[in-house]
Amino acid sequence: MEKILLLAVIGAAAFAGGIFYGFKNAVRTVLPSDPGISYIGRIDFTDKNAPKFDWPGIEIALNFEGSYCAVLLEDGANHYNVFVDGTRMPVITADAKIKKYVIAKNLNRGAHSVIITKRTETYDGVGIFKGFILDKKAKVLPPPVKPAKKIEFIGDSLTVGYGIEGPSVTCEEGSEKKYKNNFLSFASITSRVLGAQAHMIAISGRGVVKNYGESKIPTDKPIGYYYKKTLMNIDTSEWDFKSWIPEIVVINLGTNDLSTEPKPDRELFEKGYLSILNTVRGYYPQADIFCVAGPVMGEPLPEYIKNIIKRFKDKKTYFVTLSSVPQELMGCDWHPNVEANRKMAEELVKQINEKLKK
């Protein structure tokens, strides 16, 4: 199994738990409201013991002392990465009903960490976390320490990690879900390298003013339509921007606007992009904003973005570019694969660090 760098540390012991439902063996549960659980991402806690989420990259983590751990999920059909003590375990392929998924068993009685991350995206439905199940003698440890730094990513399928684990540009029909993995996207890698927690506001196919494959310009529901929502799939859910304020915002948009005909004219696109920048700046007055061009779409997108930044007249908004990706480093449907995303993250981290040192 694969060792992965994770944003969690194990602290000193603290007790929490209770008996759960009626499973055959005596078990102890950790309800979602337990302070020992750590969350990262936009999550709806209206029901504190049934938190809902749908954005990619949502992270749920627990440190515990025990020999067994399972997770309870009620889910439409999302896929989840699981890490136990930093080791990547088999992927959870969720069912639509409430179901227990065994994460680890027969562990030694020492301290252990479990981290679950959402591989898939908003189109794959809403997930509901119902808690962890531990062995009867288990103890919950203090929660993983979250990084102090925060980064928000606004993007499309490139940020989602669509097709990233695909074997080539052509993947078998109906397989795209299993090849998504936000954890290995350039966005997630960038956040870990910079030592930051991240929120992923990203939807495949969405653009600034035009969505992929659509003919209507401007479209009714571009990425900006969903930006203020806690969940994309719940129209009435409004995100509290004061609850989580990033120091860095990375925007990678425009590929879907300009990849197919008809294309928006330059002025419409630039006004749409400027609207997003004004919205972001309104919520985060002190954030450094990085507007990314590449790696899939070439000119005129870089030229447009440079001009947008010039028009925006903001000293903390920067242009960055990612190199084009060769076909041999492409996954499903011409999306950068894992290796390409590592290189993209390396480029992005270098440029962010260079800009912020000035």
pLDDT at 16: 32
The answer, yes or no, to whether residue 24 has pLDDT greater than 70, is no
**Could you tell me the two tokens for 170?**
């052509």
pLDDT at 29: 92
Q: Answer left, alpha or beta for residue 99, where phi above 0 means left and psi between -120 and 50 means alpha.
A: beta
Rounded to the nearest integer, the mean pLDDT of the chain is: 92
Residue with tokens 């659509």: 214
Of the pLDDT bands very low, low, confident and very high (cuts 50, 70, 90), residue 358 is low
pLDDT tens-digit readout, 75-94: 978 999 999 999 999 999 99
Of the pLDDT bands very low, low, confident and very high (cuts 50, 70, 90), residue 8 is very low
Rounded Cα distance, 13 and 176, in Å:
41
pLDDT at 12: 30
3 state DSSP class of 283: helix
Average pLDDT, integer, range 301-305? 98
Q: Which residue has the higher pLDDT, 33 or 7?
A: 33
Strand order in the sheet with 288-293: 196-202, 149-155, 248-252, 288-293, 317-321
* Domains of the chain, each with CATH number or no CATH: 27-140 (2.60.120.260), 149-357 (3.40.50.1110)
Q: What are the two backbone dihedrals, phi and then psi, of residue 306, each rounded to the nearest 5 degrees? A: -60, -40
Q: Which residues of 331-353 are buried (b: 16+ CB within 10 A; e: fewer)?
A: bbeebbbbebbebbbebbbebbe
The answer, yes or no, to whether residue 13 has pLDDT greater than 70, is no
pLDDT tens-digit readout, 138-190: 999 999 999 999 999 999 999 999 999 999 999 998 888 999 999 999 999 99
Cα torsion through 204, 212, 176, 184, rounded to 10: -40
pLDDT tens-digit readout, 263-292: 999 999 999 999 999 999 999 999 999 999
pLDDT at 222: 98
Of the pLDDT bands very low, low, confident and very high (cuts 50, 70, 90), residue 262 is very high
**Which helix (H) or strand (E) segment is 94 a member of?**
none
Full-model pTM: 0.92
Rounded Cα distance, 224 and 183, in Å:
23
Which residues, other chains included, contact 273 with Cβ-Cβ below 8 Å and sequence gap of 6+? 208, 253, 254, 291, 304, 305, 308
